[in-house]
Amino acid sequence: MNSALKKKMYFDMLRIRIIEEKIAQRYSEWEMRCPVHLSIGQEAIACGVCANLNQQDYVMSTHRAHAHYLAKGGSLKKMMAEIYGKATGCSMGKGGSMHIVDLDAGFLGSTPIVGGVIPIATGVGFGITLKEEKQICVVFIGDASTEEGVFSESLNFAALKKLPVLFVCENNFFSVYSPLSVRQPKDRDNVAIAKAYGIYADKGDGNDILDIYKITRKAILQIQKGNGPAYLEFDTYRWREHCGPNFDNHIGYRTEDEYLSWRKRCPIENFENQLKEEGILTTVEIDKMNTEIESEIEQAFIFAKNSKFPDATELYSHLYA
Amino acid sequence: MIRELNYTQAILEGTDQCMTENPAVYIMGLGVTDPKGIFGTTLGLKEKHGEKRVLDMPVAENGMTGIAIGSALTGMRPILTHQRIDFMLLSFDQIINNAAKWHYMFGGKMKIPLVIRLLVGRGWGQGPQHSQSLQAIFAHIPGLKVVMPTTPYDAKGLLVSAIRDDNPVIYIEHRWLHGIFGPVPEETYEVPIGKAKLVREGNDITIVSLSYMTLEAIKAAELLEKEGIHAEIIDLRSVKPIDENTIMTSVAKTGRLIVVDGTWKSLGVPSEIITLVTEKIFDSLKSAPKRITFPDFPTPTSPALAQHYYPRAIHIINAARKTMGLEEKTEEQMGITQNNPLDVPDQSFKGPF
Ligand SMILES: Cc1ncc(C[n+]2csc(CCOP(=O)(O)OP(=O)(O)O)c2C)c(N)n1
In a domain, B190, yes or no: no
Kindly provide the residue ranges of all beta strands, DSSP E only, lying in chain A, ordered along the sequence.
58-61, 107-110, 137-142, 165-171, 174-175, 178-179, 200-205, 230-235
In a domain, B215, yes or no: yes
In a domain, B204, yes or no: yes
What percent of chain B clears pLDDT 90, i.e. is strictly above it? 96
Q: Which of 3.40.50.970, 3.30.465.10, 3.40.50.720, 3.10.620.30 is the CATH number of A3-299?
A: 3.40.50.970
Considering only CA atoms, which residue is closest to atom 25 of ligand 1? A113
Whether residue B289 is predicted with pLDDT greater than 70 in this model: the reply is yes
Considering only CA atoms, which residue is closest to atom 12 of ligand 1? A175
- Taking the C-alpha atoms of residue A289 and residue A12, their distance in angstroms, rounded to an integer, is 10
Residues B171 and B225 in one domain: no
Q: Given this model, what pLDDT does residue B259 score?
A: 98
Q: What digits encode the pLDDT tens for the residues B39-71?
A: 999 999 999 999 999 999 999 999 999 999 999
Q: Residue B206 sits in a domain of what CATH number?
A: 3.40.50.920
- Taking the C-alpha atoms of residue A215 and residue A138, their distance in angstroms, rounded to an integer, is 14
Residues B86 and B168 in one domain: yes
- Write out chain A's pLDDT in tens, 321 residues: 899 999 999 999 999 999 999 999 999 999 999 999 999 999 999 999 999 999 999 999 999 999 999 999 999 999 999 999 999 999 999 999 999 999 999 999 999 999 999 999 999 999 999 999 999 999 999 999 999 999 999 999 999 999 999 999 999 999 999 999 999 999 999 999 999 999 999 999 999 999 999 999 999 999 999 999 999 999 999 999 999 999 999 999 999 999 999 999 999 999 999 999 999 999 999 999 999 999 999 999 999 999 999 999 999 999 999
Going by pLDDT thresholds of 50, 70 and 90, the confidence category of residue B150 is very high
Q: Given this model, what pLDDT does residue B338 score?
A: 87
The mean of the pLDDT values for chain B is 97
Going by pLDDT thresholds of 50, 70 and 90, the confidence category of residue B346 is confident
CB contact under 8 A, B57 and A148: no
* Total domain count, chain B: 2
Q: In chain A, what residues touch B302 (CB-CB under 8 Å)? A: 85-86, 89, 93-94, 96, 309-310
Which residue does chain B place closest to A185, by CA atoms?
Answer: B58
Q: Given this model, what pLDDT does residue A152 score?
A: 98
Cβ atoms of residues A41 and A262 within 8 Å: yes
The domain limits of chain A are 3-299
Residues B55 and B146 in one domain: yes
Closest CA to B25 of B92, B70, B85, B71: B71
**Alpha-carbon dihedral B183, B42, B346, A79, rounded to 10 degrees:** -160
Residues B10 and B150 in one domain: yes
Helix (H) or strand (E) holding B258: strand B257-264
Cβ atoms of residues B210 and B235 within 8 Å: yes
Q: Given this model, what pLDDT does residue A97 score?
A: 98
- Regarding the beta carbon of A166 and ligand 1, being less than 6 Å apart is answered no
Considering only CA atoms, which residue is closest to atom 18 of ligand 1? A142
- Nearest by CB: A112 against B31, B130, B298: B130
CB contact under 8 A, A310 and B89: no
Whether residue B348 is predicted with pLDDT greater than 80 in this model: the reply is no
CB contact under 8 A, A178 and B56: yes
Whether residue B287 is predicted with pLDDT greater than 90 in this model: the reply is yes
- Regarding the beta carbon of B61 and ligand 1, being less than 6 Å apart is answered yes
Contacts of A237 (CB under 8 A, 6+ apart): A41, A42, A172, A173, A207, A259, A262, A265
Distance between Cα A236 and ligand 1 center (Å): 16
Whether residue B1 is predicted with pLDDT greater than 80 in this model: the reply is no
Residues B48 and B178 in one domain: yes
- Regarding the beta carbon of A175 and ligand 1, being less than 6 Å apart is answered yes
Q: How far is B8 from chain A (nearest CA, A)?
A: 20
In a domain, B25, yes or no: yes
Q: Given this model, what pLDDT does residue B131 score?
A: 97
Whether residue B124 is predicted with pLDDT greater than 70 in this model: the reply is yes
Distance between Cα A140 and ligand 1 center (Å): 13
Residues B166 and B289 in one domain: no
Cβ atoms of residues B288 and B323 within 8 Å: yes
Distance between Cα A175 and ligand 1 center (Å): 6
Q: Of B183, B218, B243, at which residue does a domain stop?
A: B183
Q: What digits encode the pLDDT tens for the residues B228-282?
A: 999 999 999 999 999 999 999 999 999 999 999 999 999 999 999 999 999 999 9
In a domain, B291, yes or no: yes
Cβ atoms of residues B100 and B168 within 8 Å: yes
Q: Given this model, what pLDDT does residue B352 score?
A: 60
Q: What amino acid occupies position A23?
A: I
Hey, of B36, B55, B59, which one would you mutate to test binding to chain A, going by the most A CBs within 10 A of its CB? B59
Q: Residue B45 sits in a domain of what CATH number?
A: 3.40.50.970
Enumerate the β-bridge partners of residue B206.
B232, B257
CA distances from B192 to A46, B81, B103, B237 (A): 53, 21, 21, 10
Query: Which residues of B carry out catalysis?
Result: 61, 130
Ligand 1: atom nearest CA of A242 is: 19
- Taking the C-alpha atoms of residue A130 and residue A133, their distance in angstroms, rounded to an integer, is 8
Q: In chain B, what residues touch A316 (CB-CB under 8 Å)? A: 295, 297
Going by pLDDT thresholds of 50, 70 and 90, the confidence category of residue B351 is low
User: Pairing state of beta strands B169-174 and B145-147?
Assistant: parallel
DSSP string, B70-85: HHHHTT-EEEEEESSH
Distance between Cα A182 and ligand 1 center (Å): 14
Task: Provide the domain limits for residue B292.
Answer: 197-334
Q: In chain B, what residues touch A95 (CB-CB under 8 Å)? A: 127-128, 301
Considering only CA atoms, which residue is closest to atom 14 of ligand 1? A142
Q: In chain B, what residues touch A30 (CB-CB under 8 Å)? A: 350
